[in-house]
Structure 1
Amino acid sequence: MKNRISEFVVGLIFGLGLIVSGMTDPGKVLGFLDLAGLWDPSLAFVMGGAIAVGVFAFAVAKKRTTSFLGGAMHLPTSRDIDRRLVVGSLIFGAGWGIAGFCPGPAIVSAGAGQPKAIVFVIAMLAGMWLFELVERMSHGTPTTQTGGR
C-alpha cells in the first residue's frame, strides 16, 4: 500500500508539473515545434530543466541496486541506434507534431476531459496494441498470451 501511495503522489506531482509547464496545451507545444513560424521558445526551459533532473537522477540511480522504495532497478543497457529506434522516433515525433501531445501530457489532458486528448490516448493505446500484436506474430508467440516482456 505504501508503494501505491508513493506512486500516486509522484504521478500527481508529475501531472501538475506538466500542467504548470504548459505541456498539456497543444497550442503551446505546436508553437515550440514551429521553428519557421512564430516560434515559442518557452518549452526549451522546460526541456532543459527535465534534462538537468534526469542527469542527476540517472547518476544517483546508476550507483544503486534498489529503488528508494526497495524495488529492483531496471536501467537501460542498450546503446544501439538501430532501425527500430529511428523509425519509432520518427513516428513519435510525427504524432507529437500533428497532435501537439506526447503520452504523458495527453493522459493528463484526457483526465481533465479534453476531447482531443481523449482521442489521442485512444489512438495511442490502439497503436500500442497493434505493435504488440505485430511483435507477437513476428516472433511466433501466440496472441492470446498476456503479460509484458
Structure 2
Amino acid sequence: MATLIIGFLIGCAFGAILYMGGATSYRRILGTLLLKDMWIIKLMMTAIGVGSLGIYLLDMGGLANMSVKPAYLWGIAAGGAIFGIGWAVAGYCPGTCVVGSAEGKKDAIFTLLGALAGAFLFSLAFPFLESTLIQPANFGAVTLESLLGINGIYIALPFSIALLFLAFFVLKDRYD
C-alpha cells in the first residue's frame, strides 16, 4: 500500500510540474509542434535528463530494479505513429491530457476518454496483434548498455549532462 501511495504522490508532483510548466497550454503545445516554442521540449529534456540519471543511481543503490522490456519493432513503430498523430490532432500527450482533465479542460477530458477507449480496444486486439505484429519483430531486451558492454551509469551520466546542457544553454525560442 505504501508503494501505491508513494507512486500516487510522485504522479501528483509530476502533474503539478506539467501544469506549472505550461504543458497543457494550447499556445505552448502549438508552439512546440511548430518548433517555435521550446519551453515544453526543455521541460521534457530536463525530466529525461534528471530521470535517466536518477533511475540509474537508484538502481546502483539497490532502491530500484530496472527491467527492460523487449523491443518489438513493429509495435514500437505503430505505437509511435499513433502517439504522434494523437498528439498532433488532440494537442495532448498521455501525461498532459490527464493534467488537462484535472484542470477541467473539455478537450483534454475527451482525449483521455479516447485514450482509455483505445487502450481497451488494444487489449481486445492484443491476442491477434501478438502473433502477427509483435512476436515476428521481437528483438528481446536491447540496451546500449548490453550493446556496448559497459555499465549504464557511464551512458546515463553524459546523456543526462548533454540533455540538461541543451535544455538550459542551447535551445532558445521567442519566449526566452
TM-score (norm 2): 0.65
Q: In 1, distance between residues paired with 2:83 and 2:76? A: 10
* Distance (Å, rounded) in 2 between the aligned partners of 1:22 and 1:56: 24
Residues 49/98 of structure 1: CA separation in 2 closer, same or farther (3 Å cut): same
Aligned pair 1:84/2:75, yes or no? Answer: yes
Among residues 27, 44, 67, which one is paired with 2:41 in the alignment? 44
Q: Residues 64-98 of structure 1: CA distance to partner in whole angstroms, max 9, x if unpaired?
A: 5554xxxxx352243x3611111110110111111
- More moved, 3-12 vs 49-58: 3-12
CA 1:139–1:12: 2 relative to 1, 3 Å: closer
- CA change 1:77–1:122 in 2 (3 A) is closer
**Which structure is higher in helix share?**
2
Determine what percentage of the aligned residue pairs are the same residue. Answer: 31
Aligned to 2:107: 116
CA deviations 1:92-125 (Å, max 9, x no partner) are 0111111110111111111221110110001000
Label 1:77 to 1:3 Cα distance change in 2 as closer, same or farther (>3 A).
closer
Distance in 2 of aligned mates of 1:63 and 1:32: 35
Q: TM-score, normalised by structure 1?
A: 0.76
Alignment of 1:134-145 (within 5 A): 134-138=125-129
Give RMSD over aligned pairs.
2.2
SS in 1 for 2:23: coil
Counterpart contact for 2:101–2:112, Cα < 8 Å: yes
Shift of 1:51: 1.9
Q: Which amino acid aligns with 1:45?
A: K
Does the 8 A contact of 2:24 with 2:92 survive in 1? yes
**Residues 139 and 59 (structure 1), Cα distance of their counterparts in 2 relative to 1, 3 Å cut:** closer
Paired residues, number: 131
Aligned to 1:106: 97
C-alpha change, 1:2 and 1:82, in structure 2 (3 Å) is: closer
After TM superposition, the structure 1 = structure 2 runs for residues 1-149 of structure 1, keeping only pairs within 5 Å, are 1-35=1-35, 39-63=36-60, 65-67=62-64, 73-78=65-70, 80=71, 82-138=73-129
Letter in 2 for 1:16: A
8 A Cα contact 2:59 2:66, kept in partner: no
Shift of 1:3: 3.0
How far apart in 1 are the matches of 2:87 and 2:99? 15
Q: Is the alpha carbon distance of 1:60 and 1:31 closer, same or farther for their aligned partners in structure 2, counting shifts above 3 Å?
A: same
